[in-house]
DNA sequence: CGCTTTTGACCGGCGC
DNA sequence: GCGCCGGTCAAAAGCG
C-alpha cells in the first residue's frame, strides 16, 4: 500500500498553487491500519494477496510489458512533495464491494478485457460485414454469451485529494463513458488505456462524502504499481 | 485528418 | 418477469 501526500503543482493541467495530493492504494483485503511508506526510501507496494505484496520494481518489470514512454519521461520535474500517511478513515470510505481483490484474484488468468477479447477470438466470425449490417440494431451486433459468468478484474483504487478529476498518471487514457452515480452528485467517468498492449480500464469519480477527494480505480495491478512508483519517484526526486 | 470527448442507448447481473 | 444499476458501445461532435 502506498500512501503519499505531495504538495504538487502538476504541470499545466492542474491549477497552480493549489494541489495537495493524498494518494492511497489499497484493496479490500488490506486492514485499514496496515499502511506502509514510513519514509521515502521505503519501496511502496501494491497489495495483492492477503499477506503478500509485490514490490513495485518486481511488478514494473515483470510479465506486463509497457511500450509507452516511461512514466519518468512523461512526468514533469516534480514540485516539492511530502509523503505522509493518510488516515485510515479515508481509505475505509470506499465500499469494499467496489474493490474486488480476493485471495485468488491475482491468479485469475485473464482480465475482463482480455477475457472478452479471448471470447471474441474463440467465437468464429461467421458473419460478413456489409452495409446492411451496419444498420442493424445493437442487439444484433453483439453476440450473446450464455452461461459465462463474467469474472471481474481485481481493482486497485487511488484516493487523491485534488481539484482536478482526471490526474496525469503517466498513461494515455481515452474516455469511453460517463454515468451518473447513485447517491452522488458527481458523475463517474470510464477510461480505457490507449497505449499499445495496454488494455487497462479505470474509473474516476469524486467522492460524495469528501468532495475534495477523487477516487481513481484501476483494473490492473501493474498500473497501480506504476502509478504508485511514479508518485514515489516524484517524491524522491523532490527530496534530492 | 485522426484522435478524443460526449451522450443516449443497450447489455447483463442482481434483487425483489 | 420487471426494474434498477453499473458498465459498455458507438455515432456524432469537438478539437488540434
Residue A225 has pLDDT above 60, yes or no: yes
Residue from A1, A27, A8, A33 nearest A169 by CA:
A8
Query: Can you tell me the mean pLDDT for A22-27?
Result: 45
Per-residue pLDDT tens over the stretch A141-170: 444 444 445 556 677 787 888 777 777 777
What is the C-alpha separation between A230 and A225, in angstroms, rounded? 9
Q: Residue A124's CB: how many other CB atoms inside 10 A?
A: 6
Would you say A234 and A75 are in contact if contact means Cβ atoms under 8 Å apart?
A: yes
Query: Can you tell me the mean pLDDT for A89-106?
Result: 34
Query: Can you tell me the mean pLDDT for A47-63?
Result: 35
Residue A25 has pLDDT above 80, yes or no: no
> Rounded to a whole number, what is the distance in angstroms from the first to the last CA of chain A?
23
Residue A18 has pLDDT above 90, yes or no: no
What is the C-alpha separation between A76 and A78, in angstroms, rounded? 6
Q: Residue A36's CB: how many other CB atoms inside 10 A?
A: 15
Q: Cα A106 to chain center, whole Å?
A: 15
**A173 C-beta less than 7 Å away from strand B:** yes
Residue A172 has pLDDT above 90, yes or no: no
In strand C, which positions have an atom below 7 A from any protein CB? 4-11
Q: How far is the CA of A36 from the C1' of C2 (A)?
A: 48
Residues in A 25-84 whose C-beta is less than 7 A from nucleic strand C are none
Residue A46 has pLDDT above 70, yes or no: no
Query: Which of A238 and A175 is assigned the larger pLDDT?
Result: A175
What is the C-alpha separation between A79 and A67, in angstroms, rounded? 27
Domain annotation for chain A: domains and CATH numbers: 155-238 (2.20.25.80)
**A182 C-beta less than 7 Å away from strand B:** no
What is the C-alpha separation between A60 and A55, in angstroms, rounded? 9
**A202 C-beta less than 7 Å away from strand C:** no
Residues in A 83-142 whose C-beta is less than 7 A from nucleic strand C are 98, 112-113, 116, 134, 138, 141-142
Residue from A38, A36, A17 nearest A26 by CA:
A36
Q: Residue A152's CB: how many other CB atoms inside 10 A?
A: 14
What pTM value is reported for the model?
Answer: 0.57
Residue A211 has pLDDT above 80, yes or no: yes
Q: Residue A176's CB: how many other CB atoms inside 10 A?
A: 10
Residues in A 155-194 whose C-beta is less than 7 A from nucleic strand C are 176-177, 179-182, 188, 190
Kindly state the cell numbers that stand for A57. 520494481
Q: Find which nucleotide's C1' atom is closest to A175's CA.
A: B5
In strand B, which positions have an atom below 7 A from any protein CB? 3-14
**A176 C-beta less than 7 Å away from strand B:** yes
Residue A103 has pLDDT above 80, yes or no: no
Query: Can you tell me the mean pLDDT for A188-198?
Result: 85
- Which range scores top for mean pLDDT: A76-85, A113-122, A208-217, A228-237? A208-217
pLDDT at position A39 is 29
Amino acid at each position: 500500500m502506498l500512501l503519499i501526500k505531495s504538495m504538487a503543482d502538476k504541470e499545466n493541467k492542474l491549477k497552480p498553487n493549489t494541489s495537495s495530493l493524498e494518494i492511497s492504494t489499497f484493496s479490500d483485503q488490506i486492514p485499514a491500519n496496515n499502511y506502509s511508506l514510513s519514509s521515502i526510501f521505503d519501496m511502496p507496494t501494491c497489495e495483492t494477496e492477503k499477506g503478500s505484496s509485490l514490490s513495485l520494481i518486481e511488478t514494473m518489470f515483470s510479465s506486463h510489458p509497457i511500450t509507452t514512454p516511461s512514466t519518468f519521461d512523461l512526468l514533469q520535474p516534480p514540485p516539492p512533495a511530502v509523503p505522509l500517511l493518510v488516515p485510515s478513515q479515508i481509505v475505509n470510505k470506499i465500499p469494499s464491494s467496489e474493490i474486488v481483490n480476493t485471495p485468488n484474484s491475482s491468479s485469475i488468468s485473464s482480465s475482463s478485457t482480455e477475457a472478452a477479447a479471448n471470447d471474441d477470438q474463440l467465437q468464429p466470425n461467421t458473419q460478413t460485414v456489409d452495409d446492411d449490417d451496419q444498420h442493424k440494431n445493437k442487439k444484433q451486433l453483439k453476440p450473446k454469451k450464455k452461461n459465462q459468468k463474467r469474472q471481474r478484474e481485481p481493482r486497485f483504487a487511488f484516493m487523491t485529494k485534488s481539484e482536478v478529476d482526471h490526474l496525469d498518471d503517466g498513461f494515455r487514457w481515452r474516455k469511453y463513458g460517463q454515468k451518473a452515480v447513485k447517491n452522488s452528485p458527481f458523475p463517474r467517468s470510464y477510461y480505457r488505456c490507449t497505449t499499445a498492449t495496454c488494455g487497462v480500464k479505470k474509473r474516476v469519480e469524486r467522492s460524495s462524502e469528501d468532495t475534495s477527494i477523487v477516487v481513481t480505480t484501476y483494473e490492473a495491478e501493474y498500473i497501480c504499481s506504476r502509478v504508485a512508483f511514479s508518485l514515489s519517484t516524484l517524491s524522491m526526486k523532490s527530496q534530492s
